[in-house]
Structure 1
Amino acid sequence: MTESPITSISPAIDIINNNSTTTQNRRFSNFNNVHNCLAKHLHLSPYVVAELLRTLISFISLVISAFFCTFAIQWSDFRWTNYNKDMDPLEDLAFKTPQIDYVFLADIAMLTLLVGSLVINMVIAASNIARIIILRRICWLLSFLLIFRGISIGVTVLPSPKQCTPLNTVGSFLNMLKTSCYLIIGSVKACTDNMYSGHSTFITLSVILLRIYCRYKLIVYYSYLHGLVALCLLIATRIHYTVDVIIAVFVTYSTHSIYYFIVDICFQNHFLRIKRTEDIIGDKELYQRIVYVPNMFNTSLFGVVRWMDGLDIRFRHEAEKIRDKNSGQSSPNNDLANEMIQIEVSHSPNEGEPSRDWTR
């Protein structure tokens, strides 16, 4: 008889409620001395300090990625200037449509959607911790997207889709650093920052954030329309080739899909002890006959995303809350509570019956 997957939560519950010390102290110990020291001076809990420090690391990663991308853009412009054989734009089907000369329209469409998405999500977030989590995810995902964009821009130089004067700053690190700052704030424009579109990345990111975190469907539907118009303006104003926009949307969407999917798997791994789907059905041969994936190639991403998202911090915090709650009860009541938890977790809900929250 195959064991119900819900019963596999029991090992995690046993660890949380075990009053002996070895494994519990190792996996659910208090935060390290640095967190405790900062928490004491800042008058914050070690949990909040840990979340803030992890977010600070993600922000530093974003800054480094942004400068890497802007340096790659300047290097690409420099190579395009030296090549100087064909300055004409590439053939693009969408360029057969009338051109819009007001380039600032695309910038305004992107910025209003980006700022609006950030403000709305920060306002409606459930808590300050939720706001920190959202910001950290934005930083990590943008870091990857900007690094990948810098690599793609650096390896292949595409001619500018519009009349443009290329940047000429290569040779002086300070000049490149200064120009990078201007590129980040948008006060100067490069010519060959094409594949893939940074504007489209931010537009797609803004729409995805509203789709995930915003509970107001009207706002979400409006963001779809706003994003589509903004993407069309990028092509109509000749800021980007059509392929730049398509690839940017695909890469951004795929990156977010993979990230959030792994976050969900990490939760299953931690509480249900499910590493692969075959662990749920308990029949490895049946799984392989149907799915046939003998060896997974991306399992290392689980640990990386778990750390990046701060899941380890929140797992530890929730475990400590449950342990402290149970330790505050008298011994008979605590034993009864543990017994009730085991019974509740081991109970497999009937079809149509809502599952129970074991943390309550």
Structure 2
Amino acid sequence: MLKIFLRRLVCATIIGIIGICIQCYFIILSDTYYKTGDEPLKDRLHEIFKEIPAFMNTPFVNGSIMFFLAITLLRFGLFCPLLLSITILIRIILMLSFIYCIRSFFIYVTTLPCPIPTCQPLKHKTLVENLYTFYLIITAQVYECTDLVISGHTAFTTLLTFFWFFYERNIYVKTTIFLYSIYIYIIIIISRFHYTVDVLMGYVFGGSVFLFYHYLVDVAARRYALNTSVFPQTYGFSGSFTDRFQVFQYFIRAITYLEALDHRMNFALSYDKEWNCFCSCVPVNKNSLLIKKKNVRNEEYYDFSDHFYHSYAGNGTYNLSTIRNIIKEFKRFFGMNKKN
């Protein structure tokens, strides 16, 4: 089972790399239309903060975001059930790659003047030189003059923030994360990384992608729990709006495959003492995804149980099973397991 999820993680990583490369290429293309010295757009917050603080440079802003990424991966990578940790990482990669691909189009079709008029634009060169420029962009060793429309830094920060909002239970932790994300948005604007409108668009776009993606995950999980299939049971105008739109069906199937959602649901139907790290619910058995209930007219109907949601969305608590598994594998690799 673990091998299946790891293979899907590799697939998602490849998609993520492609998305990053597409964005880098369109950044280079957009920069070719920019001339150093073009007058920046009028921005109210830039007018308030006329001088950029000396410490608020590229490494400072990127470092603040990377710290946010580090604590997010630490929280949901080590303190969630192992399979959920892998799934969360897959979701982050897929949503980011989608955002990068979409914003690449926006960056190219409209070239905004850089907030810093002395910026030196990137040049479109040979394939090998462009690949090296990709590396410089990814490692933040160059400044992209026109990488502005829909702030990628903001969309990335928003995705991480929403993960804490939806996967973390502790309200104090959520509040701290919210305040830290506001801090990042502010320094992105003050440092002239982006115009204020870019940050606002990045927040709306990043949040919309997160909600849309998880809506489709919900639809896929419900379909599979009810019918052991993610295909709609009704087609055309006899079904819901989601069932009517064929593009949604392609997205749902792609998400199901890349997340191994069908394997996850099948796994949630089984029970084994070694699988308690999968979900905090006990017992884990075939009757736990759907439960019978009665309405006010004493009619029976099926509803989704807590375990159904925990199986693919977690329950917001801290789980040490991943750390235990890492220690167990470490001991096994170095032959440190005790012999019976």
Q: State how far apart, in whole Å, the 2-side matches of 1:292 and 1:140 are.
A: 24
Higher helix share: 1
Q: Which residue of 1 aligns with 2:46?
A: 95
Cα distance between partner residues in 2 of 1:168 and 1:228: 30
Cα gap change, 1:167 to 1:177, in 2 (>3 Å):
farther
Superposed, 1:265-284 pairs within 5 Å as 265-273=219-227
Which residue number in structure 2 is paired with residue 166 of structure 1?
120
The code of the aligned residue for 2:187 comes to: L
Matching of residue 348 in structure 1 with residue 293 in structure 2: yes
What's the C-alpha RMSD, in Å, of the aligned pairs? 3.4
Q: Does the CA contact (< 8 Å) of 1:349 and 1:355 recur in 2?
A: no
**Whole-Å separation in 2 of the counterparts to 1:293 and 1:267:** 14
**Partners of 1:294 and 1:103 in 2: CA distance:** 48
Q: Tell me which residue corresponds to 2:64.
A: 109
**Alpha-carbon separation, structure 1, partners of 2:195 and 2:295:** 54
SS at match of 2:34: helix
Match of 1:198 in 2: 152
Please name the residue that 1:311 is paired with. Answer: 261
| TM-score scaled by length of structure 1 | 0.69
Superposition TM-score, scaled by structure 2 size: 0.73
2:32 paired with 1:78: yes
Other-structure match for 1:184? 138
Measured in 2, the distance between the counterparts of 1:264 and 1:294 equals 14
Relative distance call for 1:294 and 1:177 in structure 2 (3 A) is closer
Deviation per residue, 1:127-148 (Å, 9 max, x gap):
2211111111111111101111
Query: For 1:40-61, what per-residue CA distance to the aligned partner results, in whole angstroms no more than 9, with x for missing partners?
Result: xxxxxxx111111111000011
Q: Which residue does 2:174 correspond to in 1? A: 220
Unaligned runs of 5+ in 1: 1-46, 326-337
| Alpha-carbon distance in structure 2 between the residues aligned to 1:356 and 1:90 | 53
Instruction: Please list the CA deviations of residues 298-321 of structure 1 after superposition, one character each: whole Å capped at 9, or x if unmatched.
Output: 5413222222322122234445x4
> Which residue does 2:22 correspond to in 1?
68
Superposition deviation, residue 212 in structure 1: 2.2
Alignment of 1:1-360 (within 5 A): 47-81=1-35, 87-98=38-49, 99-101=51-53, 102-104=56-58, 105-125=60-80, 127-273=81-227, 295-296=244-245, 298-300=247-249, 301-318=251-268, 321=270, 347-349=292-294
> Retained in 2: the 8 A contact 1:100–1:237?
yes
1:212-251 deviation per Cα after TM superposition (whole angstroms, max 9, x unaligned) = 2223322211110010111011111111011111111111
CA shift digits 1:155-201 (9 cap, x unpaired):
21111011333334312111111111111011211111001211112
Residues 198 and 248 in structure 1, CA contact (< 8 A), matched pair in contact too: yes
For residue 346 of structure 1, report the CA deviation from its aligned partner: 7.6
Unmatched segments (≥5 aa) in structure 2? 274-284, 297-302, 309-340
Residues 356, 134 of structure 1: CA spacing in aligned structure 2 closer, same or farther, 3 A cutoff?
closer
CA distance in 2, matches of 1:90, 1:357: 51
- Structure 1 CA distance for aligned equivalents of residues 307 and 178 of structure 2: 37
- Pick closer, same or farther for the CA change 1:292–1:269 going to 2, 3 Å: closer
Quote how far apart the aligned CAs of 1:68 are.
Answer: 1.1
Matched length: 283
Q: Which amino acid aligns with 2:262?
A: D
Q: Write the deviation string for residues 250-293 of structure 1: whole angstroms up to 9, x where unpaired.
A: 111011101111111112111224999999xxxx99xx9xx999
Q: Is the 1:169–1:175 Cα contact (8 Å) retained in structure 2?
A: no
Identity %: 23
